[in-house]
Amino acid sequence: MKKSNHKHPKSMPKENSTLKDNQINSPATPSPADTPDTTKQESHHKIHGKHSKADKHDPHKYKHKINDSEIDESHKTAVSHDSIHKKDHDPKINHGNHHIHMMDDYKKRFWICLILTIPVFILSPMVQELLGLGESIRFFGDSYILFIISSVVFFYGGYPFFRGFSQEIKSINPGMMTLITVAITTAYLYSTAVVFGLMGMVFFLELVTLVDIMLLGHWIEMRSVMGASQALEKLVQLLPSSAHRINHQGKLEDVPISELMINDLVLVKPGEKIPADGIVKEGESSVDESLLTGESHPIHKSRDLPVIGGSINFNGSLTVMVSKTGKDSFIAQVVELVSQAQEGKSHTQDLANKAAMWLTIIALLGGALTMVIWWGIYQMDLAFSLERAVTVMVTTCPHALGLAIPLVVAVSTAISAKKGLLIRNRNAFESSRGINAVIFDKTGTLTQGELGVSDVISLDESITEGELLKYAASVESNSEHPIAKGIFSAADEILPAKEFYAIPGKGVKGIIGEKEVEIVSLKHLKEIKIEFDDSFDDSNLHKLFSQGKTVVFVLFNGELKGYIALADIIRKESLLAIRELQNRGIKCIMLTGDNVKVAQWVAQELGLDEYMAEVLPQEKAEKVSEIQKRGFRVAMTGDGINDAPALAQADVGIAIGAGTDIAMETADIVLVKSNPLDVVALLDLASRTYRKMAENLVWATGYNAFAIPLAAGILYGQGILLSPAMGAILMSLSTVIVALNAQLFKYKTPE
């Protein structure tokens, strides 16, 4: 049997959503139900193929339909699409390349410095004494070689920290960079003075190992936060590279979309992407805008209706007049919204940076105070006093503080990956423990994003619901329309059908055995004067329409035998996720571009606290902001391009992994399994991760509380003095404890 190329558009074409006000309702608030005589049911299977006049259109007629002066004027006011496609000139897109460069830079500096650390380790007097090597490996000039190698590590490895130190000082916000710079600079200057004659002990080993650890920590950190800016490049790639433009002679010419101008006419063939925002001037078709607008069903498009660049034309050919290009296009505006939301998002200061700020103050004051007390009050010699001060400042910056956070991040990221949770933004992940409102997109997140059979009603006692579905699916097996796919996938058995025929704009029919089976829309049912008998209960049909479901009617040999309702299938895990979140006191809200009836039905089925329907893509980020202004810390979960600005605006953006690359690149966290229950797992993991980070910071800073007074010589009168070597040992011990504590996190986390 030859499979038909006919494709069915949506049976309930929605009005232009741009003309509707946003509607915010509680699930408990009923909305007036539509009668079955709704225009939204009029075109199940409005197709174009050999039966379609859209495929027979003549491009030459547009010469006469479009005023020549209108076309000429368009060329004067055209906006180049180059601003979208020349991504290399976009600083917002290049920002992603900047992150990649920084990560690679930290990685390269770490490996080079780590290699140089080996000879520093061997040449360090402290190591030689601890290992009992004594004079066996000493040679003339070894201290100068130690100085030269350490100098390379100091200047080359320390450069990123010097740069960060400069920025922190300019912003009057000292943090980790300042602490690192103070520690390594003090160690370097003092050790250099010792090499060239000052009495004392060098700190070169402490210096290079501190640089190594900090480079490693920042490399790990950069890997965990890199990638959000790549969303902008992904958005641009939605547009096709060329378009079929109709010239002044009515002939087709393929041109790059960067050459399209306002009021140009373009032909969009079945299966192609629409190259630019515009208005349909000829033809009818179904257009898939789900990735752009969140509308779960294909949208029927005909003359004078708007289309969005990047959406997919399902069937019949469309002739579109370009209305927006360049920076005014829908995708360009989404790019701008994503960029603004990312730039405007507040980044909470790291706990380690807070600790570093205080440790910087302690290091500077402690070192100065130590110097003053020993040299000025106790009249000790300069070399001793200076060594005590330097020991304090070096001891204040333990290796453990640099690893306290990155080690936990590395372990928790590995755990989360096994659980299907990909962490892209560490700050957002850490802050998710404080989330008290979760906003879900509907299509593709709470629902599967595709039509499925929700109700089968037989009006003939001799025909079971399963049999009705089997006959309908057998005919629909010849079509690739979403409605047909939904019916086909619901059937357990398929019968051979022949003489398949599409009724343009009305439905399909075929022969199965001796039965002519038709699956048609309500409009066609009325046109052929098929009426319901007296036993028919129209309240059930009325309810299905009020829920925004798509309903098609099944006829055997011209007699009505039943009807089938389809809806965007709610994920089984969605109800469990909503219940679990609500049990934790977290408010659950749905934000969708779909119509109010569909949104209300989904909200009632899931018991959501609140829903917002018919929200335009450019308004989603605004709605998230409004909820944030109500005092909520918001997590946004979505999968579509239209969700990208809202994902960026939310305190935590969570993308469903089965969604678009754009949503995933914009989000802070990606749920690989597309399971709403993973939102609960994410919040649990975030809480445990934060606790482990706090424990590590206590260990790292607790070391200072113990070591700094000893380094300053507080017990010198009792014969106890913390030497630089012992300080290094305690520093290493602190690092080992922090590392082990991070690894214990792995084994304590339930799978």
Q: Which residues are catalytic?
A: 441
Q: Contact, 125 vs 202, CB < 8 A?
A: yes
The tokens describing 655, both together, are 């993308």
Block residue for tokens 């232009």: 16
Q: SS3 of 536, please?
A: coil
**DSSP H stretches of helix in 153-229:** 158-170, 176-195, 204-225
Q: Which phi and psi angles does 536 have, rounded to 5°?
A: -75, 130
For residues 388 and 689, give the distance between their C-alpha atoms in angstroms, rounded to a whole number: 37
SS3 at position 268? strand
Report the amino acid identity of residue 216: L
Which amino acid makes up residue 605?
E
CB-based contact 285:9 (threshold 8 Å): yes
Distances (CA, A) of 573 to 290, 402, 596, 675, 677: 22, 40, 23, 7, 6
Beta strands in 434-497 (DSSP E): 437-441, 447-458
DSSP 8-class letter at 444 = I
The answer to whether 632 and 587 have CB atoms below 8 angstroms apart is yes
Locate tokens 């000039």: which residue? 141
Distances (CA, A) of 750 to 434, 576, 646, 740: 21, 20, 32, 18
The closest alpha carbon to 683, from 430, 445, 442, 406, belongs to: 430
Would strands 610-613 and 587-591 be described as parallel, antiparallel, or unpaired? Answer: parallel
* Cα 517 to the center of its chain, rounded Å: 46
Cα Rg, the chain, nearest whole Å: 34
Q: Tell me the C-alpha distance between 582 and 63, whole Å.
A: 60
**CA angle in degrees (0–180, nearest 5) for 544-548-549:** 60
Where does residue 202 fall: left (phi above 0), alpha (psi -120 to 50 degrees), or beta otherwise?
A: beta
What dihedral do alpha carbons 64, 66, 72, 77 form, nearest 10°?
Answer: -170
CA 730 to chain CA mean position, Å: 42
Round to whole Å and give the CA distance between 113 and 127.
18
